[in-house]
Structure formats: C-alpha cells, structure tokens
Amino acid sequence: MHQYEEGLWIFLLSAFLGFELIRRVSPLLHTPLMSLTNAISSIAVVGAILVTGHKDASTFAKVLGFIAVTASTINAVGGYMITDRTLKMFKRKDDRK
C-alpha cells in the first residue's frame, strides 16, 4: 500500500470514529467535550506551526500547514466563545451582574 493511501485510510477511519463518538455523547456532556476539543485544537495549532516552520518543508507542506494553523485557530477561538456562552446560560441572574 502506498504511503498516501495509508494516510488516507487512517484519516477516513479516524473521521468516521470521531463522528460516531461525538454523535453518541449525552447533551449533558457537550460543554466538557467542547473544552476537550478546544485543547486538542490548540495542540493542532502548535503541531501545524512546527510543520509549517520546518526549514526543509516543501511548498505544499507549508501551504497545508498554513491552512491547518488558520483552521485550528478559528476552531479553538470559536470553541472557547461557544463554551463561554454555554456556561453563561447556566449562571443565575444574580451572578450575572
């Protein structure tokens, strides 16, 4: 099996597994799960920066790394905003002031 085919299979299987795991999560666990995915997305930002900034990286790797940095950053910031909004919904009206 070619190296790229193996990577594609791993990506497809992980995407399917991730979708199935998240789909079956109880609504009570969505906020903790969102916090966990924010942490994972932050790790992805660091990994993408390392790949993009490597001195021997090809142009293709740099372009993909830039896309990964951008997408992961948007995902992390948006996730924190959604988590903050969700947590504000559970505060009592007296605590909001």
Whole-number Å distance between alpha carbons of 82 and 48: 23
pLDDT mean across residues, the chain: 78
13 vs 4 pLDDT, higher one: 13
**Buried (b) or exposed (e) across 78-94, using 16+ Cβ within 10 A?**
ebeeebeeeeeeeeeee
Give the separation between CA 74 and CA 38, rounded to whole angstroms. 10
**Distance (Å, whole) CA 31 – CA 25:** 11
Q: How confident is the model at residue 62 (pLDDT cuts 50, 70, 90)?
A: confident
Give CA–CA dist 54/97, Å, rounded: 48
What pLDDT is attached to residue 56?
86
Q: What is the pTM of this model?
A: 0.58
Is residue 48 predicted with pLDDT exceeding 80? Answer: yes
